[in-house]
Amino acid sequence: MPTTTQKSELKCYHCGEQCEQDSLAIGEKIFCCQGCKLVFEVLAENNLCTYYDLESFPGESQKSKTSRANRFDYLEDQSTVDQLLDFKNERESHVSFYIPLIHCASCIWLLENLYQVHQGIISSRVDFIKKKVQVKFLNEGISLKELVGLLSMLGYEPKISLAAIDQKKTSTVDRRTVKRLAVAGFCFGNMMLFSIPEYFSEAELIAENFRGLFNYLNVILALPVVLYSASDYYLSAWNAFKQRQINMDVPIVLGIIALFFYSLWEIFALGNGGYMDSLGGLLFFLLLGKVYQQKTFATLEFDRDYKSYFPIAVTRLVQDREEVIPVTKLEVGDLILVRDEELIPADSLLMSSSASIDYSFVTGEEVPVLKRKGELIYAGGKQKGEAVILTVQKSPSQGYLTDLWNNEAFEKGKEKLLEPLSNRISGVFTWTVLIIATGAFGFWASSDMPLAVKAFTSVLIVACPCALAMSTPFTLGNSLRIFGRSKFYLKNASVVERMALIDTVVFDKTGTLTDPKRAKVDYQGDPLSEETKSILKSLVSRSSHPLSHRINFWLGEIPSLNLDGAEEQKGKGIQAYYKGQLIRLGSAAFTGFSSSHSKEIGNYVYLVIEGFEIGYFRILSGLRAEAGQVVKSLDPAYELHLLSGDHPHEQASLKEKLGPSIHFNFLQSPSDKLDYLGKLNQFGRQTLMVGDGLNDAGAIQKSRVGVALTDTITHFSPASDAILDATAFHLIPNFLGFAKQSRKIIKLSFGLSFLYNVAGVSLAVQGILSPVICAVLMPLSSISVVVFTTLATNVVAWKRGLLTPKNN
């Protein structure tokens, strides 16, 4: 009989389920099924048993899966595979899976070590909040079907729904937390009912023998609260201990244990009422606060998708006519034109004869890949060279482009930022709370043990670093939303903080301070025939340079012609062949134009066909209407610089319009601009670079904060930290001022959090606050910080003109 009892209590080493027999054993480790045993063997063979050290029974039972080995056969269909993959080349493929079973540190650890389980997997990255895993794997090493099967065997079967591939996962409240809250609420309500005689102890409401019965009933009701409702806090604290850390759940767990066992002693040893009702209320209000936090995070939705905050536009071809549309309106089957250095927004088939695609944005490899007509080109690639025509095969993946933008390769340092500082303070804070609670207990224990337990528990509960930890993400998250509404799109929250530290602003001239719509184009030379104009139209349409855009606008609705061998050299010019003749358009040095002509103010673009000098365009780049006001608003708070690849003949005119305080630098090549930013950084300047992301992409990457200003947003530079719509150019001083105010709001919320904790702890150590009141105050502190940061950022934004009826 004892043997049978012992066997019935055996738990699977992998998933924790009851084992009916111990025949499936490896040493002292018992498994409930062959599936769980197989998972353990795979992990053991690859030295990955640390998985079981981070969490007890972290795996999922494999019993129900062993009989469904063919359920992934649909992944042998190539069209289905192509629909699921984010990227594929001859060597590797990338795929993203939604795995709802990710729930703990063990899950993250194992899923990010998949490359040790199978040699065909290159790497994997887990997004715990989204419960998403991005996997890169070798095409010859493992198939998509085998990869999904491996994940399923490990207990992390992806949730694949082909009908909902492009649907955004919405943040919802954890149902497990809601169930725990419901249990705590039910038990708390009934415990209060059974405690009424204790509340009115002076009145004889019931017989004395019933009073004891009600106390015992409270103990029974407290068991599900302590064992079930509080289980997440135990797991969190235990995981922290195993990693030799102290998190914010440790004080809560100590308070729960102290209150529970002291109440047991009071009830069974002394015959008193205990504090079981207080314990029920404590867990109820703690879980209620957790649900509130989850709801708030879901409402604010800091994790942005490209439809809301990734303003890429694309050139669509409709009956040989070009139209620029937002990427959100892109549909399967649309024909799009992608020029040199432009981003491919969606998986598409190449319709042109060839293309040179740079996938460094996706894979990190900068070597362009040659593609032929009819081949599939994946989203995230950049065309190098002649403009190409593509037909869209798949709608843009929700969040995929934004994930690429936030690639670690483009991440900048977080020195001097408050976000990591708040995390460090929270760690020190927890230790401080434990010391104060222990001191309060020691002080009162000798004279009043009930008061000592009450003070100990109250201090542990009321002192909460949640408000401190939440102040930074909530402030920055709301700031991101406000910036986005004003057409200033930031990559992530840390950019807001870096903007607050800026003391130097660097402007590129062409395309940034100048407005393409205000440009004046004047042609001098041989008369241009309709055929020559069509050739020019084809050339400038393939170029991403601002001067090409101005000539394109000047030419108007002239049809273009098919050219061969089009090639653009950055900052110099573009050339192509038409009927065997070489046509060059660009600088005098590039085209070989040597004829003398009057050098008036302006930018010159020369046209040479087969060595014959046809003529030149003189382009007067008119400043943006708000340029002068923007520069004057930034002076003298910021050190101002201007970089330009043009000759200095406009310096006098620019100084008159922009003011004498700005530092002018002309004849700057892209590498010169990069070096210039590098020198400013060496001198300790906190630089903001505003450019068009074309010839100044390197300088944008080098700066502390890089902003790509754009009129059509067809060109996107992954090196930029932000994209600024040209219509919001005049708001640059407001954006910088708002960023500084946001940082001050974070500091004020720090102060508010500390003030709450000092006041709460001061009352708790005296035993004035009961644990239930502390449990109510704990979420209220978080609510107060959220309300304060939200209202404060909205008020500051409204005062700076960033929240108006138009963009609110």
175-232 confidence digits (pLDDT tens) = 788 888 899 889 888 888 877 666 555 445 555 666 677 788 888 998 998 899 888 8
pLDDT of residue 165 exceeding 50? no
The answer to whether residue 643 scores a pLDDT higher than 70 is yes
Confidence at residue 365, expressed as pLDDT on a 0 to 100 scale: 61
Q: Are 692 and 504 in contact (CB under 8 A)?
A: no
Mean pLDDT of 272-300: 71
Q: How many CA atoms lie within 13 A of 117 on its CB side?
A: 26
DSSP single-letter state for residue 517: G
d(CA 808, CA 806): 6
Average pLDDT over residues 672-701: 82
**CA gap 129, 170 in Å, rounded:** 11
Total-model pTM: 0.62
Measured distance CA(510)–CA(507) in Å, rounded: 9
For the chain, list the domains and their CATH numbers: 7-54 (no CATH), 69-166 (3.30.70.100), 175-294+421-475+740-801 (no CATH), 476-515+624-737 (3.40.50.1000), 520-620 (3.40.1110.10)
Sheet holding 348-350, edge to edge: 321-326, 313-318, 335-338, 388-392, 348-350, 376-377
Residue 269 DSSP SS3: helix
In this predicted model, which residue has the larger pLDDT, 148 or 404? 148
What rounded mean pLDDT belongs to the chain?
Answer: 76
Give the pLDDT band of residue 584 (cuts 50, 70, 90). Answer: very high
pLDDT of 451 > 80? The answer is yes
Task: Give the pLDDT confidence of 118-129 residue by residue, as tens digits.
Answer: 889 988 888 766
Pairwise CA distance, residues 603 & 293, whole Å: 57
**How far apart (Å, rounded) are the C-alpha atoms in residues 16 and 56?**
8
Of residues 582 and 262, the one with the higher pLDDT is 582
Note the pLDDT tens digit of each residue in 495-520: 888 888 889 999 888 778 877 777 78
For residue 707, the tally of other CB atoms under 10 A from its CB is: 27
In this predicted structure, the answer to whether residue 134 has a pLDDT above a threshold of 60 is yes
Dist CA 121 CA 490 (whole Å):
32
Segment (H or E) for 641: strand 639-643
pLDDT of residue 589: 86
Strand 348-350 with 488-490, pairing: unpaired
Distance CA 390, CA 249 (A): 54
321 vs 551, higher pLDDT: 551
Alpha helix positions (H), 618-731: 627-634, 651-658, 670-682, 697-702
Window from 167-181, 199-213, 460-474, 665-679 with minimum mean pLDDT: 199-213
Percent of the chain exceeding pLDDT 70 equals 74
Q: What tokens were used for 525? A: 């030379």
The DSSP symbol for 281 reads H
| Coil/strand/helix, residue 496 | helix
pLDDT at 125: 82
- pLDDT at residue 293 in the model: 60
Identify which of 44, 214, 75, 86 has the alpha carbon closest to the alpha carbon of residue 147.
75
On whether the CB atoms of residues 105 and 31 are closer than 8 A, the answer is: no
Q: pLDDT tens digits, residue range 293-315?
A: 666 555 544 434 433 444 466 77
Average pLDDT over residues 363-389: 77
d(CA 779, CA 251): 15
Contact 762, 447 (CB under 8 A): no
Query: What is the mean predicted confidence (pLDDT) over 324-338?
Result: 79
* Confidence (pLDDT) at 2: 40
